[in-house]
Amino acid sequence: MEAPAMRQASGTSAVNPGKGVLRPLATAAVKITGGLLAQWQQRNRTATIPHSLTELRKSGNLENFRTIINGNGLDFVGRYPFLDTDIYKTLEGLVYELARDGASELLEERDFYEEAVELIVGAQSANGYLSTYYQNPTTGKEAWSDLTWGHELYNLGHLIQAAVAAKRQLGDDRLLEVARHFADHAFETFGPDGIEQVCGHPEVEMALVELSRETGCPNYLELATLFIDRRGRGLVELNHFPAEYFQDNHPLRELPSVTGHAVRMGYLAAGAADVAAETADTTLFASLERLWQDMVNSKLYITGGLGSRHSDEAIGDRYELPSERSYSETCAAISIMQWGWRMFLATADTRYIDVFETVLYNAYAVGLSLEGTKFFYDNPLQRRGDHEQRSGAETDGDLLRRSWFGCPCCPPNVIRWMSELQDYIAVEKQDSLFIANYATATIRSGTMAVDMKANYPWDGNVLTTVTEAPEGEFMLAFRVPAWAKGATLAVNDEAAVEVGSGWAQVEREWRTGDRVQLVVPMVVSAHISHPHLDATRGSAAVVRGPLVYCAEQQDNETSVDDLIIDSAGVAQARTLDAAAPSLSSTPALGADVVTLTMPVRVAEAADAELYPLLGHSGTDTVFTPGTATLVPYFLWGNRQAQPMRVWLRTY
> Hey, how many other C-beta atoms are within 10 angstroms of the C-beta on 309?
17
Minimum CB distance to Zn ion smaller for 410 or for 477 = 410
CB of 626 to Zn ion, least distance (A): 38
Minimum CB distance to Zn ion smaller for 135 or for 161 = 161
Minimum CB distance to Zn ion smaller for 334 or for 628 = 334
Do 303 and 362 contact (CB within 8 A), yes or no?
yes
Taking CB under 5 A as the criterion, the residue among 224, 331, 476, 522 binding Zn ion is 331
CB of 587 to Zn ion, least distance (A): 28
CB of 334 to Zn ion, least distance (A): 8
Minimum CB distance to Zn ion smaller for 296 or for 331 = 331
Between CA 82 and CA 263 the distance in angstroms is: 14
Binding-site string for Zn ion from residue 360 to residue 399, where x marks contact by CB under 5 A and - marks none:
----------------------------------------
**Cis peptide leading into 457, omega within 30 of 0?**
yes
CB of 409 to Zn ion, least distance (A): 3
Minimum CB distance to Zn ion smaller for 63 or for 203 = 203
Piece in contact with Zn ion (CB under 5 A), picked from 325-333, 347-355, 430-438, 545-553 = 325-333
Minimum CB distance to Zn ion smaller for 32 or for 331 = 331
Minimum CB distance to Zn ion smaller for 63 or for 329 = 329
CB of 413 to Zn ion, least distance (A): 6
Does residue 603 belong to the site contacting Zn ion (CB under 5 A)?
Answer: no
Phi then psi dihedrals of residue 294, to 5 deg: -65, -40
Residue nearest to Zn ion (CB): 331
Residue type at position 264: R
Minimum CB distance to Zn ion smaller for 85 or for 197 = 85
Residue type at position 145: S
Under DSSP, is residue 306 helix (H, G, I), strand (E, B) or coil? strand
Between CA 257 and CA 490 the distance in angstroms is: 42
Do 38 and 86 contact (CB within 8 A), yes or no?
no
Piece in contact with Zn ion (CB under 5 A), picked from 79-87, 227-235, 269-277, 406-414 = 406-414
Does residue 223 belong to the site contacting Zn ion (CB under 5 A)?
Answer: no
Between CA 458 and CA 440 the distance in angstroms is: 12
Minimum CB distance to Zn ion smaller for 228 or for 410 = 410
CB of 332 to Zn ion, least distance (A): 7
**Longest distance between any two alpha carbons in the chain, whole Å:** 78
In Å, what is the CA distance from 263 to each residue of 12, 158, 216, 325, 646?
26, 14, 28, 17, 23
Does residue 409 belong to the site contacting Zn ion (CB under 5 A)?
Answer: yes
CB of 391 to Zn ion, least distance (A): 10
Region for residue 9 given its phi and psi (left: phi exceeds 0; alpha: psi -120 to 50; beta: otherwise): beta
In Å, what is the CA distance from 126 to each residue of 69, 75, 176, 178?
12, 22, 16, 11
Do 276 and 286 contact (CB within 8 A), yes or no?
no
Do 463 and 517 contact (CB within 8 A), yes or no?
yes
Under DSSP, is residue 282 helix (H, G, I), strand (E, B) or coil? helix
User: Which of 542, 535, 607 has its CA nearest to residue 569?
Assistant: 542
CB of 296 to Zn ion, least distance (A): 22
Between CA 423 and CA 95 the distance in angstroms is: 14
Containing 541, the helix (H) or strand (E) segment is strand 539-544
Piece in contact with Zn ion (CB under 5 A), picked from 280-288, 405-413, 427-435, 543-551 = 405-413
Minimum CB distance to Zn ion smaller for 258 or for 410 = 410
Q: Which residues lie below 8 Å from residue 187, measured CB to CB, with a gap of 6+? A: 194, 219, 220, 222, 223
DSSP label at 74?
P
CB of 61 to Zn ion, least distance (A): 15
CB of 383 to Zn ion, least distance (A): 20
Helix axes of 204-215 and 174-190: crossing angle, nearest 10 degrees: 120
Radius of gyration of the chain (CA): 25
> Hey, how many other C-beta atoms are within 10 angstroms of the C-beta on 457?
24
Piece in contact with Zn ion (CB under 5 A), picked from 6-14, 83-91, 402-410, 630-638 = 402-410
Residues in contact with Zn ion, counted by CB under 5 A, come to a total of 4
Between CA 435 and CA 453 the distance in angstroms is: 12
Taking CB under 5 A as the criterion, the residue among 25, 166, 333, 410 binding Zn ion is 410
CB of 327 to Zn ion, least distance (A): 10
Minimum CB distance to Zn ion smaller for 330 or for 556 = 330
User: Which of 549, 592, 552 has its CA nearest to residue 570?
Assistant: 549
Do 479 and 487 contact (CB within 8 A), yes or no?
no
Minimum CB distance to Zn ion smaller for 329 or for 555 = 329
Minimum CB distance to Zn ion smaller for 35 or for 93 = 93
CB of 329 to Zn ion, least distance (A): 5
Piece in contact with Zn ion (CB under 5 A), picked from 64-72, 136-144, 329-337, 572-580 = 329-337
CB of 204 to Zn ion, least distance (A): 17
Give contact residues for Zn ion (rule: CB under 5 A).
329, 331, 409-410
